[in-house]
């Protein structure tokens, strides 16, 4: 059985280090696609996600 994906509201209350790889990948892609419409807070979250993904490589 596939694990349920946590929603962004739940994840936003957690450190990015607690997100699993699939969550990081999904929200990195989603925010990147919406980049022209993302406010400064969203851009900061995208940077945090990118930093966490890099640290796991």
DSSP structure string for 1-57: -PPPPPPHHHHTTS-GGGS-HHHHHHHHHHHHHTGGG--HHHHHHHHHHHHHHHHT-
Residue 14, domain member (yes or no)? no
- Residue 8 within a domain: no
Range of the domain at 41: 19-55
**Domain count across the chain:** 1
24 found inside a domain: yes
Does residue 33 sit within a domain? Answer: yes
* Residue 10 included in any domain: no
Structure confidence by residue, pLDDT tens digits, 4-50? 679 999 999 999 999 999 999 999 999 999 999 999 999 999 999 99
What pLDDT is recorded for position 5?
A: 79
29 assigned to some structural domain? yes
Question: pLDDT band at residue 3, thresholds of 50, 70 and 90?
Answer: low
Residue 46: inside a domain: yes
Q: Is residue 5 assigned to a domain?
A: no
């Amino acid at each position: 059985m596939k694990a349920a994906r946590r929603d962004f509201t739940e994840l936003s209350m957690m450190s990015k280090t607690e997100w699993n790889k699939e969550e990081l990948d999904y929200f990195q892609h989603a925010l990147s696609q919406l980049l022209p419409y993302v406010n400064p807070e969203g851009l900061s979250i995208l940077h945090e996600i990118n930093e966490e993904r890099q640290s796991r490589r």
